[in-house]
Amino acid sequence: MSDGSHFAAAWLALREPVDARSRAGSLDHAVAAWLATRAAPHGRAVSVLDLGAGSGSNLRYLAPRLGLAQQWTLLDQDAGLLAQATRQLPSLPDSLEVSTRCADMRGWCEAPEVLDAWLDGVELVTASALLDLVSQPWVEALAAAVSRRQAAVLIALSVDGDWQLDAADPDHDAASQRAHEDQWMRRHYRAHQATDKGAGAALGGAAPEAMASALQAHGYRLQMADSPWVLQAPADRALGEALLEGWREAVSEQVPDAVVEVERWHAARLASWQRGELIIRVGHRDLLALPDSEGHDHG
């Protein structure tokens, strides 16, 4: 899945179609309408900055849904993923220009002028599958910077720290034992999420609310929507296997003394998943923040 903040291209490719079917379409319509009011009077391309863009999944999803000429900058610390993104651009009826910026976002909390420079001329700041990795100072620095520019913010697919493995099992005792074990895994997985993932002590599942509060403090109007993954084998078999493996690795790292219990949990759930007995639900949140139409910064 990932090694700290380094993400495997294969993992990003596996999740892309599930991300696309899970995202909250209502937020795409709202941001497209807002951008149209910005761009249309001048007949020019809107400028979009994609943070933690990886191999370009967010661009491939969102650009065709905006319905106007666009100029994207894909920002990531991984040059290999960015190169892959530029090889897989969507084709649009309107013009699309894409450039990349290979940079580490960690520095901007101490140097807000760096972020201000990146945001120069930008009307939409977007990200997907990123927010759980970032820290509170990162969130506050971003909210302050976007409000200086009065840019819109669309952040999709932020994990909220919740996941469930639902099984149709008539045996009540077995089901409650499984629920107890899953809860134990979830608790340690959440603790693991809160370690540094590349942008300070990570907010993990608390990130969507933290980002929303920071933007509201600057007078932004917020829309939040659930965008959960609901996975079932055989269609989503490989992604489910990767998730179970990711949870196994994270909790083994977090609680090294409990490796035997973690291995037993993993073997049992993997077997149930492969037999098609489980539905895996992973909680995600999408967030759209539009600036106060009067342009006042409340921060």
Q: Which one among 198, 205, 208, 219 touches ligand SAM, defined by CB under 6 A?
A: 198
53 makes contact with ligand SAM (CB under 6 A): yes
130 makes contact with ligand SAM (CB under 6 A): yes
58 makes contact with ligand SAM (CB under 6 A): yes
The helix/strand/coil state of 263 is helix
5 makes contact with ligand SAM (CB under 6 A): yes
Query: In the stretch 131-160, what mask flags binding to ligand SAM with x, by CB under 6 A?
Result: --x---------------------------
Distance CA 100, CA 120 (A): 15
Q: Which one among 47, 128, 227, 254 touches ligand SAM, defined by CB under 6 A?
A: 128
Q: Is the torsion defined by CA of 150, 29, 97, 156 positive or negative?
A: positive
Distance CA 205, CA 113 (A): 28
68: closest CA among 35, 90, 98, 25?
A: 35
22 makes contact with ligand SAM (CB under 6 A): no
* Alpha-carbon separation of residue 276 from 17, 165, 166, 270 (angstroms): 20, 12, 11, 10
Burial 148-170 (b: 16+ CB within 10 A, else e): ebbbbbbbbbbbbbebebebeee
φ, ψ (nearest 5 deg) of residue 110:
-85, -20
Amino acid at 129: A
The helix/strand/coil state of 290 is strand
Q: Which one among 18, 48, 54, 248 touches ligand SAM, defined by CB under 6 A?
A: 54
205 makes contact with ligand SAM (CB under 6 A): no
Residue whose C-beta lies closest to ligand SAM: 54
CB of 16 to ligand SAM, least distance (A): 6
Cβ-contact 123, 151 below 8 angstroms: yes
Number of residues that bind ligand SAM (CB under 6 A): 21
Q: Which stretch binds ligand SAM (CB under 6 A): 49-57, 86-94, 181-189, 226-234?
A: 49-57
Cβ-contact 12, 85 below 8 angstroms: no
Q: Which stretch binds ligand SAM (CB under 6 A): 126-134, 139-147, 174-182, 250-258?
A: 126-134
Query: In the stretch 235-274, what mask flags binding to ligand SAM with x, by CB under 6 A?
Result: ----------------------------------------
CB of 260 to ligand SAM, least distance (A): 30
Query: In the stretch 77-116, what mask flags binding to ligand SAM with x, by CB under 6 A?
Result: xx--x----------------------xxx----------
Distance CA 2, CA 131 (A): 15
Q: What does the DSSP 8-state code read for residue 89?
A: P
CB of 229 to ligand SAM, least distance (A): 13
Amino acid at 95: S
59 makes contact with ligand SAM (CB under 6 A): no
Kindly state the helix (H) or strand (E) to which residue 97 belongs, with its residue range. Answer: strand 96-102
Residues that bind ligand SAM (CB under 6 A): 5, 7, 12, 52-54, 57-58, 76-78, 81, 104-106, 128-130, 133, 198-199
